[in-house]
Structure 1
Amino acid sequence: MRPVLVLTHAPSEGPGLIGPALDAPLRVRTVVDVADPLLPDPDEVAGIVVMGGWMDADDDLHHPGLAAERALLARAVAQDVPVLGVCLGAQLLAMALGGRLLRRHGTEVGFGPVDVVADDLVLGPLGARPTVLHWHADAVELPPDATLLASTEVTPVQAFRRGSALGVQFHLELEPAMLDLWLQTPEMVAGLDDDEIATIREDGRTHLPALVPAARKVVEVFAEQVRLRG
């Protein structure tokens, strides 16, 4: 079986529960600051997963590898390769498909519901109004010919589908240990006060027991698409 390419952008924002749930060989790469990275051709991989990060999805000046990632994602969708983009990964995917990044559109940090507005085979296990973890200030416009899947008042495009690709602005990968790491990482909690951090920690204890199994089911459906590509 061909490997799944996992693109990461920050040490604290790895694939989390996505990796084990894929049950496939993984090729994890971090190329965000590489001007001309060597990335595989879409034909060489069974799927692509793009994780989060603290940088802006259009900041090619300071993080030149982002342009190569977007180009790869555009080719992958054109070749019907299964793609899953999470947070920054969803923003890169949207831009690759012709959507526009909206810098500082609205801050959402912490647990809160999203409204699922359309059916999707992969996203379906989350249910109609799941409580998920948000951690972003940027947003995207819906790419041309994409289907809006989930929304909040602050961020109208919380999830979208175009062809073989699913983008989710919220975090599906979180397990309790990863949340603990984030809440101890200065870059992640910059701008949050002690009470806000405590609230996120407590909300994690409340919501992750239901969210983690549902997220695993989401990734398992994505993994089946990856296996079919082989």
Structure 2
Amino acid sequence: MNILVLQHLAVEHPGIFRDFLRADGITWTTVELDAGEVIPDVDAFDLMLVMGGPQDVWQESEHPWLREEKAAIRRFVVELKRPYLGICLGHQLLAESIGGRVAPAACAEVGMMSLLRTDEGFRDPLLAGFDEPMTVLQWHGAEVAGLPEGATILASSEACRVQAFRWGAHAYGLQFHIEATADTVAEWAAIPTYAASLEAALGADAAERLKSDVDLHLPHLNREASKVYTALMTLARTALSVET
């Protein structure tokens, strides 16, 4: 299986998913877009993971590579119809690339928070095994404000209607961070943009308090991530067997 990972910041990588992939003996190709790396021909890949980042989907003037990234996502998801998982910015990029709309959130979400699955979310294999309510790590100031045609909402929160969605049977966006590890908060809090959003949302000493909160929930978060990984790999292997 050939997996393509698109990153927008070195510390926003697949996190715990890297451990799962290594345990399965699977390697992947990482493209660091903010460092000027170029997206290869996506036709060569079976699964695409698109991670978060400090950029916003509408910042094409500041980050011209966003145009190429959106085109690559559209090609992979709409034309090739291959499995896709986008997290945070990757979730928003999926929506915009296939006809949805992303906008600044009315209320930023930062911290450990709860959200609820929709009826379809309970049935969907990616989220079927989660506890209810779901407890997740949030760190975003933009949101999917308009879904692309044919999309199904899988989870919502009071502040953000589109926390998770599926397009077709193969493309998923998650606004929250399912990939968190023990290093996530410290690594992200070292980024000035993230540190500012963290302090604005949670006040002084936010990084230390959030790290303690994430550490408390981490075993649970990693178990939920394992369920997502298993469902995603089942989807990818099934799609690959059909193509071959």
Q: With the length of structure 2 as denominator, give the TM-score of the two structures.
A: 0.86
Q: Where does structure 1 differ by over 6 angstroms across 4 or more consecutive aligned residues?
A: none
Aligned to 1:28: 30
Structure 1 residues without counterparts, runs of 5 or longer: none
Aligned to 1:68: 68
Which digits, 9 at most, give the CA deviation of each residue in 1:92-138, with x for residues without a partner? 00001111111243200000011111221112232332110000010
SS in 2 for 1:176: coil
C-alpha separation between the residues in 2 aligned to 1:33 and 1:58?
19
Aligned to 2:5: 6
Aligned to 2:141: 137
Deviation at 1:199, TM superposition (A): 2.6
- Given the superposition, is the C-alpha separation of residues 116 and 41 from structure 1 closer, same or farther in structure 2, using an over 3 Å criterion? same
Q: CA RMSD in A?
A: 1.8
Aligned to 1:87: 88
Which digits, 9 at most, give the CA deviation of each residue in 1:138-160, with x for residues without a partner? 00122211000010111110000
Q: Is 2:211 the counterpart of 1:201?
A: yes
Aligned to 1:215: 225
Q: Is 2:16 the counterpart of 1:17?
A: yes
SS in 1 for 2:154: strand
SS in 1 for 2:33: coil
Which digits, 9 at most, give the CA deviation of each residue in 1:163-219, with x for residues without a partner? 210000000110112223223433321140333323312211221121111112211
Is the Cα–Cα contact under 8 Å of residues 106 and 137 in structure 1 kept in the other structure?
Answer: yes
C-alpha separation between the residues in 2 aligned to 1:25 and 1:195?
38
Aligned to 2:125: 121
Determine which structure has the larger strand proportion and give its number: 2
C-alpha separation between the residues in 2 aligned to 1:4 and 1:159?
22
Is the Cα–Cα contact under 8 Å of residues 115 and 155 in structure 2 kept in the other structure?
Answer: yes
User: Which letter maps to 2:221?
Assistant: L
SS in 2 for 1:114: strand
Q: Percent identity?
A: 36
Structure 2 residues without counterparts, runs of 5 or longer: none
Is the Cα–Cα contact under 8 Å of residues 53 and 88 in structure 1 kept in the other structure?
Answer: yes
